[in-house]
Structure 1
Amino acid sequence: MTHDITLPRACHQDAPKGLAERAVLDPHRPRFHFTAPGGWLNDPNGMTHWDGVYHLFYQYNPLAAAHHRIHWGHATSRDLVTWTDEPVALVPGTDGPDRDGCWSGVLVDDGGTPTLVYSGRHGDRELPCVATGSPDLRSWRKDPANPVIAAPPEGDLTAFRDHCVWQEDGMWRQLIGSGIQGVGGTAFLYESEDLRSWRYVGPLLTGDASTGTAADLDWTGTMWECVDLFRIDDADILAFSAWDEGTTHYPLYWTGQYGGDTFTPRGLHRLDYGQQYFYAPQTTRDALGRRVMFGWLQEGRDEDATVDAGWCGVMSLPRVVTLGADGLLAQAPVPELARLRRDAVRTGAFAVTDGTYVRLDDVRGDQLDIEVTLRLAPGAVVRLVVRETPDGSERTVVEAARAEDGTGTLRLRREASSLDPAVDTEPRYGELPLTGDGTVDLRVVVDHSALEIFANGRALTARIYPTRPDALGVGIAAVGAVAVERLDAWQMAAVFDGPRPLWP
């Protein structure tokens, strides 16, 4: 993924000035989500489970907390919980097709040879490139044939970047994200026998940017970034991130049927209700048969703040993606994350009286995992409050509501999340599927500024920036009849201690 931005002052420095040291001192930096050692992080790339090891590559600038001259960072894990920084996988060339950055891509197994397919950038040109790796995936060699596609298809295109590559009937197939001016976003389909010589097939699917506007939450944009085609059970999923004129909007997905050279859509859906706070997701199937997904949690504070902090960008928790009973995607953190849980608090069942607020004095912190099972009567609303100061001047509210007609809404209210007027506090919301008795299984994961919410399989991701160190409280309030069947909470252990080398 790329987009044009105004580079903050740190980009003009020749070398990082204590980026990693400043990063670990920032109270907003998550402690159990994956973050780069310092500098800039964006899209997850090259995700794979290779010989029992999970490999997470990511867009990385180790020189500044700015989106500029992107490298490929690399980290490994055996449990999706604790991570080891590996040598930087790809560095922009001094000249050639990736002189100005090694942008987003994927990793495939080419007959036992790990192979990266990525977008190289040179000036305004972004073209597919290939690199092959050592058996341990720790060293990489760029192919002399790069770029392996010399130019985009003919036509007036908005962009041409980001890759999804797979094998089918003895051939390699590839999708590249793009957009057709005056029409909408698209995914161009190519095929190859050797990952180097590619034949253009045509658009797999093209959106209609004239349907709706950029203010809508399901507008498909003028360009599709980070396309990802995969199958779960008998459903084909085409995921993409909607982009327009340099603005990253949100991830969406089509359900439908892939066959031949086309994708026949059945429905368009929101992948995460957090909009740009969960962006450019990528999935892989691990050795356990699970579809595992990461996404990029963008910042909600300004560029000067991130430059001063020495870091920018968070990777989401790894999620298991399944197909729900309604035929839509359901998401949950991988169960391995329970290994970080400490100091359990279990309240058991209790009722929250209409119009009251219960402060949970035994549950406090900025590294929390909270699970609540609720039952909402028609017309009821429950509000779970986190990161609250004792006087309530800062507080973040997760709200689940059941309308009189039985429909549900999940809403995040951030208007009081921070006393800093420069941070984003816009609300986020989406549809909440409910059972006939109004049951909600709600999970809220708090990691300093990173907030991930899961409710009946739907996900809502955001960033919050409390200014006060005593913004640690948790409470619950209700409007109407709400029964809490259980509330379990844990402190979460950190996975990184101290500064990490920017160039491992």
Structure 2
Amino acid sequence: MTHDLTLPSASHTAEGLAERALRDPHRPRFHFTSPGGWLNDPNGLSHWNGVYHLFYQYNPLAAAHHRIHWGHATSTDLVHWSDEPVALVPGSDGPDRDGCWSGVLVDDGGVPTLVYSGRHGDHELPCVARGSADLRYWTKDQANPVITAPPEGVDITAFRDHCVWREGQVWRQLVGSGIRGVGGTAFLYESDDLLSWRYVGPLLTGDASQHQGELDWTGTMWECVDLFRLGEDEEAGSTDVLVFSAWDEGTTHHPLYWTGRYHGDTFNPTALHRLDYGGRYFYAPQSTRDEHGRRIMFGWLQEGRTDEANAQAGWCGVMSLPRVVTLATDGGLHQAPAPELTELRRERVEVAPGRQADRYTRLPAVRGDQLDIETTLRLAPGATARLVVRETPDGAERTVVEVSRAQDGTGGTLRLRRETSSLDPTVDTEPRYGELPLGTNGRVDLRVLVDHSALEVFANGRALTARIYPTRANEAVGVGIGADGDVALERFDAWQMASAFTDGPRPLWP
């Protein structure tokens, strides 16, 4: 908690936020959410002395993006989270008076140190805060901002968000940005002490004139850049990954990543990939290497309903489930939910394997709005398998996950059909889809996690995240399976998922 914090006493603005949030049937129960109010980007993700620290963009005063604070939660198992004191609060004056925007946590010789974007007016500039040994209390550096302006002579679209690491005897930092008329970029800086920074140059710059309007458009600005190496214990087989979120004139588009090689002052890309087929529903991801050597990633699940609905509900924004990210055989990333999440599994239902002869069969034994479903399918060329969740008894509301194999058998598609997910005409129901690599004989390992309005789908290592808002939430608990063409169901297991939080409202100011 910062020294200039003034707690709101009996603020009518915040009154009842946590209580209203708790009553909302669309609020997830095993995904992390803030106690109430607003949540967006994951920040400062780290594994420090055996404890996972998840900081996040937070407004405890309203379910709206305004004067952003840094919320803070801790966990020893990536499943159950404890709310910690708010870490950063906008100052009464200074470079972060209008918000403490996204950043990271680094270990500066044993001193936990945050590097974040302080917002003042239309400007975001890098700032530093140092923490207590338990990472619960923070003091902003008097030298803030530690970079006083973007690079000279460059017409930028924006300048914010940070990736900071130690390289040899120096610190290096990437700041997300964009060069007007060219494309998104990540500016590289260097420092001896985290306070005085030397501009090196753009690490990599995209081309915004290419693929505009497409699902892999790189945008005019790169938010929340994240550079890391996978396979680092085997130099010859390692790959460098540069993750970013494509932004343009205030619109958040989708998360992408380059694979390639970071060397010297540049990143030499080999391929561009989509990180999550849900687009903005897995936005601004951040990752860390935990003490077990795993690359753990979180992202922000944006809302798909109106601002008015969010305000009425008293909360806005969901943190994704933790993902373990590894190298896939095709050179991209393989994503899977952290195995610790199985701790929340309760009653298990198994469906008998066999050929799927019907276009649709409801599974009366599988019901719920907190589910973890795992299935293995074999698709013949031209075949499609579907899994239906959150279905009302009359089928008026239902969400459909589809996996299909091309007629020539060469590849597949993962698709989420939300057109009938809600009868509310104001919510987003656009379909989401992406390429699906297939295993031997058309094998698909599919996992679907349903948590009220939060939906995360994993198919052969590819991820698709979205939000759904059935109007008849208490009735929309049905599950079913179906197929077109030759589909073999080799395995189907479903578990009820317990809540990760205790009952009752959580304090907005822990």
Indicate the residue corresponding to 1:43 in structure 2: 41
Indicate the residue corresponding to 1:491 in structure 2: 496
Aligned equivalents of 2:206, 2:300: Cα separation in 1: 23
Indicate the residue corresponding to 1:167 in structure 2: 166
Aligned equivalents of 1:304, 1:325: Cα separation in 2: 45
**Equivalent residues in 2 for 1:60-459, closer than 5 Å:** 60-154=58-152, 155-213=154-212, 215-233=213-231, 234-353=238-357, 355-406=358-409, 407-459=411-463
Indicate the residue corresponding to 1:6 in structure 2: none
Indicate the residue corresponding to 1:9 in structure 2: none
Following TM superposition, where does structure 1 have runs of at least 4 consecutive aligned residues deviating by more than 3 angstroms? none
C-alpha deviation, 1:346, in angstroms: 1.4
C-alpha deviation, 1:205, in angstroms: 0.2
One-letter identity of the residue aligned with 2:197: W
Per-residue CA distance 1:39-95 (angstroms, 9 max, x = gap): 000000000000100000000000000000000000000000000000000000000
Aligned equivalents of 2:123, 2:360: Cα separation in 1: 56
Per-residue CA distance 1:5-49 (angstroms, 9 max, x = gap): xxxxxxxx8631200000000000000000000000000000000
Per-residue CA distance 1:323-368 (angstroms, 9 max, x = gap): 0111110000000000000001112412210x43111111000000
In structure 2, the residue corresponding to 1:21 is in which secondary structure? helix
Aligned equivalents of 2:341, 2:268: Cα separation in 1: 36
C-alpha deviation, 1:404, in angstroms: 1.4
Aligned equivalents of 1:436, 1:490: Cα separation in 2: 27
One-letter identity of the residue aligned with 2:322: P
In structure 2, the residue corresponding to 1:437 is in which secondary structure? helix
Instruction: Give the gaps of 5 or more residues in structure 2.
Output: 1-10, 232-237
C-alpha deviation, 1:381, in angstroms: 0.2
Aligned equivalents of 2:184, 2:244: Cα separation in 1: 9
Aligned equivalents of 1:86, 1:350: Cα separation in 2: 49
Aligned equivalents of 1:323, 1:58: Cα separation in 2: 27
Aligned equivalents of 2:95, 2:352: Cα separation in 1: 60
Aligned equivalents of 1:177, 1:106: Cα separation in 2: 13
Aligned equivalents of 1:14, 1:253: Cα separation in 2: 42
C-alpha deviation, 1:405, in angstroms: 1.7
In structure 2, the residue corresponding to 1:307 is in which secondary structure? helix
Matching of residue 478 in structure 1 with residue 483 in structure 2: yes
Per-residue CA distance 1:352-410 (angstroms, 9 max, x = gap): 10x43111111000000000000000000001000001110000000000011221000
C-alpha deviation, 1:125, in angstroms: 1.2
Maintained 8 Å contact 1:185/1:222: yes
One-letter identity of the residue aligned with 2:399: T
Maintained 8 Å contact 1:352/1:358: no
Match of 1:16 among 14, 17, 24: 14
One-letter identity of the residue aligned with 1:236: D
In structure 1, the residue corresponding to 2:441 is in which secondary structure? coil
Maintained 8 Å contact 1:22/1:310: yes
Aligned equivalents of 2:155, 2:167: Cα separation in 1: 30
Aligned equivalents of 1:413, 1:312: Cα separation in 2: 23
Instruction: Give the gaps of 5 or more residues in structure 1.
Output: 1-12
One-letter identity of the residue aligned with 2:209: S
One-letter identity of the residue aligned with 2:457: I
In structure 1, the residue corresponding to 2:280 is in which secondary structure? helix
Aligned equivalents of 2:440, 2:345: Cα separation in 1: 32
Indicate the residue corresponding to 1:465 in structure 2: 469
Aligned equivalents of 1:440, 1:302: Cα separation in 2: 35
Indicate the residue corresponding to 1:4 in structure 2: none
Maintained 8 Å contact 1:45/1:105: yes
In structure 2, the residue corresponding to 1:149 is in which secondary structure? coil
Maintained 8 Å contact 1:450/1:463: yes
One-letter identity of the residue aligned with 2:183: G
Aligned equivalents of 2:406, 2:241: Cα separation in 1: 30
In structure 1, the residue corresponding to 2:489 is in which secondary structure? strand
Aligned equivalents of 2:101, 2:354: Cα separation in 1: 51
| Percent of aligned pairs sharing the same letter | 78
Aligned equivalents of 2:139, 2:423: Cα separation in 1: 49
One-letter identity of the residue aligned with 1:39: G
Aligned equivalents of 1:48, 1:472: Cα separation in 2: 36
One-letter identity of the residue aligned with 2:71: G
C-alpha deviation, 1:146, in angstroms: 0.3
Aligned equivalents of 1:174, 1:243: Cα separation in 2: 20
One-letter identity of the residue aligned with 1:122: H
Aligned equivalents of 1:381, 1:210: Cα separation in 2: 36
Per-residue CA distance 1:440-486 (angstroms, 9 max, x = gap): 00000000000000000000000000011211000001000000000
Aligned equivalents of 1:17, 1:423: Cα separation in 2: 26
Aligned equivalents of 2:414, 2:136: Cα separation in 1: 42
**If the length of structure 1 is used for normalisation, what is the TM-score?**
0.97
Aligned equivalents of 2:173, 2:353: Cα separation in 1: 51
Aligned equivalents of 2:93, 2:12: Cα separation in 1: 18
One-letter identity of the residue aligned with 1:113: V
Query: How many aligned residue pairs are there?
Result: 490
Measured on the aligned residues, the alpha-carbon RMSD in Å equals 0.7
Per-residue CA distance 1:97-133 (angstroms, 9 max, x = gap): 0000000000000000000000000111110000000
In structure 2, the residue corresponding to 1:281 is in which secondary structure? strand
